[in-house]
Amino acid sequence: MIQHLNGDFETVEYNNNGFILLYDNVENEDYPMHWHNAIEIIMPLINDFRVTAGGNTYELREREIIIIPPGELHSMIAPDHGQRLIFQCSSSVLNDFPPLSAISSMFTDVTLIDSNSPEYQKSVAKKTMLEIYDEYFKKEELSELKIYLKLINMFVKLHEGAASEKRDLMGCTSVKLNEYSERFGAVKKYIEKNYMEDISLDTLAEIAGYSKYHFSRIFKQYTGSSHIEYVNKTRINVAQKLLLDPSISITEVAMNSGFTSITSFNRVFKEIKHCTPSEFKKFYKTSD
């Protein structure tokens, strides 16, 4: 094996001090619920493959793809026989490159590309995975760099396609969508900086330059979440990182991530992460 489970935390052992790992998996081997700091992309080549991630179970068919962001709880159940590509890469390489912040959502949410997905998604993702496979086993001096470039190109194309879908769904022009992107980008930055504060609808609407009614309607269309849901997701992202510190109590985590009561923290955390903060803290405890 070129990877192992350290308690519930999977230690990804990249080859030759690199940042990329590709496993051409043909073993009848299940992976129990675990997490790691790598981005993971799975594509079955022969037979199906069951993946549970983000509280949902996905039955991947041949050539369907799932992208699992770092820090996401997930497990896999293999069939009696089959083959699948399991690709992992360090998220730090991507996170440390500021221009990629525009496509950061690709690194934070589970993305499924199946038979119901738009044709551009299927063609881009399949082509990229097969190109990565070919490049990985060349093991040339620039292979790892070329793989990251292919990966970034895939994320950019998926993001552009999603933006086109969003434009059609919202019934607006590209110019208008760019306006929304700029204004709501400022709103998101404000939330990320001020999640500890009481963030009101009035404040967010003022930052975007819209009326409260218009802001609420368009923001939900654009992000898929209400402003309250978005603020809570931001706070829970902060909370889950704090929960990994054994020296910080759950009450302190709640207060330090912007919640005013332990009750509301527990409720919102379970809604988003599908487990309680106590369960999360216990599950994510790693052994030395």
Q: What is the pLDDT of residue 1?
A: 33
Contact 74, 48 (CB under 8 A): no
Q: What is the pLDDT of residue 234?
A: 93
| 272-282 per-position pLDDT tens digit | 887 889 888 87
Q: What is the pLDDT of residue 2?
A: 36
Q: What is the pLDDT of residue 29?
A: 86
Q: What is the pLDDT of residue 131?
A: 95
**Domains located in the chain, CATH noted:** 3-167 (2.60.120.280), 174-283 (1.10.10.60)
Q: What is the pLDDT of residue 286?
A: 45
Q: How far apart are CA 71 and CA 12, in angstroms?
A: 13
Contact 78, 28 (CB under 8 A): yes
pTM value is 0.77
The number of helix segments (H) and strand segments (E) in the chain equals 10, 11
Residue ranges of the chain with pLDDT lower than 70? 1-18, 105-106, 284-288
Q: What is the pLDDT of residue 241?
A: 85
Q: What is the pLDDT of residue 145?
A: 92
